[in-house]
Amino acid sequence: MTTPNMGEPGWIDLESADVDAAHTFYTGVFGWTVDVVPDGGGYGMFLLDGKQVAGVSPRTDGEGPSAWTMYVLTEDAAASAAKATEAGGTVIAPTVEVTGAGTMGIVADPSGAVIGLWQPNEHKGFEVMRVPGAFCWAELNAKDLPSDKLFYWNAFGWDPKESAVPGTNYTEFKLDGTSVAGGLPMDPDLPEGTPSNWVVYFAVADTDATVAKLTELGGGVHHPPSDIPGVGRFAIVHDPQGAVFAVLQNTQTATS
């Protein structure tokens, strides 16, 4: 599938402490181009072969870490925010109309992981996904995965199913029987106070080559390239401003 369905992760964007540096880094790593939106407050679109794959903007508060945000597509952002609150989440930013493009809101799950809401209008979300250089997966690192499973079920209708991979404690969130995201308990060795978080994954043709390239461009590695039996080869990395993301060489999608 190359475009998202309603109710699943359908857009991502990066708030960066240095937008110009982010443009240079990500175009160098993924071969993207950048289209800055006129009168958009510095917001730009990352394009893969002319198709929108992600957004990028300056930090709205002018400070704080750079970070990627994953957005769930919804028919009604305000109703989804209310449902998330009823399910035990917190509204971080009330819903607001983005002129002509759609309506957005930001919420957090009970463990503090931030999720965006996007009600499409002219901007429908990803124009391509699950191909090398585009979004392919989102993964929750949760302080309290049992509570978060209940939250995502009640807020978005995501059905948590235990992974069939032996020896893992991994959850796949399913919507209408299709896996749309994953989740796992947060690594207990992470520094105290580390919040729960969502990590966005990009499909790549060669994980090791991509990690070498991003390191050359000033990025860093949190988890070195490793194999996931039956899935592919992944790494968790960060850009020069510290925004964390992951890359995945999947045997079915990484073909070019």
For the entire predicted model, the pTM comes to: 0.93
Amino acid (one-letter) located at 33: T
pLDDT score of 252:
56
Please enumerate in sequence order all residues whose Cβ is within 8 A of that of 177, keeping only pairs 6 or more positions apart, or say none. none
pLDDT in tens, 203-238: 999 999 999 999 999 999 999 999 988 889 999 999
CA pair distance 48, 56, nearest whole angstrom: 14
pLDDT at 192 exceeding the cut of 80: no
The pLDDT of 148-157, averaged and rounded, is 97
Mean pLDDT over each residue of the chain, to the nearest integer: 92
Distance of CA 235 to the CA centre of its chain: 15
The pLDDT of 95-114, averaged and rounded, is 95
Please enumerate in sequence order all residues whose Cβ is within 8 A of that of 193, keeping only pairs 6 or more positions apart, or say none. none
Let me know how long the chain is. Answer: 256
Hey, CA dihedral for 129, 11, 186, 245, is it positive or negative?
A: positive
Q: How many CB atoms lie within 10 A of CB 187?
A: 9
C-alpha R_g of the chain: 17
CA pair distance 69, 55, nearest whole angstrom: 10
CA pair distance 17, 240, nearest whole angstrom: 10
pLDDT at 256 exceeding the cut of 60: no
User: Shortest CA distance to 149 belongs to which of 177, 172, 175, 168?
Assistant: 172
